[in-house]
Structure 1
Amino acid sequence: MLDSNYIKVFSGSFIIVQLVVDRLESAGINGIVKDETESGRLAGFASTTAGFQELYVNKDELDYAIPIIESVKEELEA
């Protein structure tokens, strides 16, 4: 496996991941969203995890991203 500067910080439904991405972008952090269901769909395969996405951020931005993600989680639990 290739060494990467990105680390998975969150996973969830499309809507929640997009909320987190929006908050991160507001703070100047660019995340990468991985959606294997879309990749599978394009390849002609069905998936049981429709709408499930993973969010990655650069390891250099991890300390800034975690508090933002935790804040979103707290908002959703309230």
Structure 2
Amino acid sequence: MTWSRLGIHAKPTALLDTAGYYDHFLRFLDHAVEQGFLRAADRALVLSATDPATLLDRLRAWQPRHDRRWEPVEGS
């Protein structure tokens, strides 16, 4: 996620959330957005799905962002 944000590569992070393994982590990321520690656009770099076909579809549909400059989180 950091490398994508810094422009080192233009790839998303993908998590296959089998049996809810990553549920807590994904909620943590959502909470970080709510609390202003993470931008929603950066949260969108982490794709997840509970089945491989859906995750592969999301990976195929993902488009890299073209704004590579660093911006603070709103309100900070």
TM-score by length of 1: 0.30
Q: Going by fraction, where is strand more abundant, 1 or 2?
A: 1
TM-score by length of 2: 0.31
